[in-house]
Every structure is written in structure tokens, then in C-alpha cells.
Amino acid sequence: MRIDDKAIIGCVGDGWQPIVAGLCKHIKFILKRYGLDIELLNVAQVKEKLGGLRFYWCWNSTEDPHVKRIQDIAHEDIRDLVRAAEIQCDQTCEYCGESGELDDTQSWIKVRCPECKAKKRNWRDDEDDNLFCSDARGEEK
């Protein structure tokens, strides 16, 4: 996926979507700052796993040694941005975006705020929650 693909943001719960959107915006800024084409970065997968944000990305290959050197430099900046977003999600309710903490009292490990935890919110409970990019049949929501 390209970093500017809107589907990236929809792969996490409503509470994390602003964090992921901000991460994508900052990554695009880094690419521009280093003069790298947006096509050089591939977002392989964005998801929640064990209560944390997972943002998997890699560089598309290039034969240009100058571009490879710049990618190596930019890699650290992008890695730091991804890690900061992961840390922010570790403290943000995936459902509503309020301050939360890891909760494993229900069938799924999620970051929930006290209110969502009290409501026993779970992805199975709310059809409106867009925690996955597609439903069980593989159809887009």
C-alpha cells in the first residue's frame, strides 16, 4: 500500500485513526524532506495485535546507490516515528481515543479507557467498530 492510501487509517479502531493518520502525514513529510518519491515506501500491513499498533513497512527496491543511501538515513527517522505512534497507541483507547490502558479481562487484549472497559466494549460487540479492513467474507465494510 502507498503511504497516502486512505485504507491504512481504516485498519484500526476509531480511537487510533487520528494517530495513524498523523503518522502517515509525518512519514510523507520525511519522504519529501529527503527528496524520496512516495512510491519508494511500501506499507505492508497496519493492524492491532495483542493490544498494540503494528505498522509494517519496507522500502521498494531501487538500483540507484544514491537513493539507497538516502533511504538508509531516512529509515531511522521513519522507524522513530512508527515507534512513537506505537507508544501513543499503547496509552490510547482503541475505541474512543481517550486515555486508556492495556486490558486483558475480556476475550481480546485491547487498550481501553475506563468507560469502554465498563461497557465491556469488544470488537465482536459493536458492528460499527471498524477494527478490520474487511468482514469475515472478505467484503469491504
Q: What angle do CA 127, 123, 136 make, to 5 degrees?
A: 70
Contacts of 138 (CB under 8 A, 6+ apart): none
What interhelical angle do 65-90 and 17-33 show, nearest 10?
160
Residue 44 within a domain: yes
The number of angstroms, rounded, from the C-alpha of 93 to the middle of its chain's C-alpha atoms is: 14
Domain that holds residue 111: 1-59+67-124
Q: Is the pLDDT of residue 131 over 50?
A: no
Span 26-45, pLDDT tens digits: 999 999 999 999 999 999 99
Residue 137 within a domain: no
Residue 87 within a domain: yes
Residue 135 within a domain: no
Residue 131 within a domain: no
Residue 84 within a domain: yes
Q: Based on the structure, what is the number of domains in the chain?
A: 1
Span 96-119, pLDDT tens digits: 999 999 998 877 899 999 999 888
Residue 136 within a domain: no
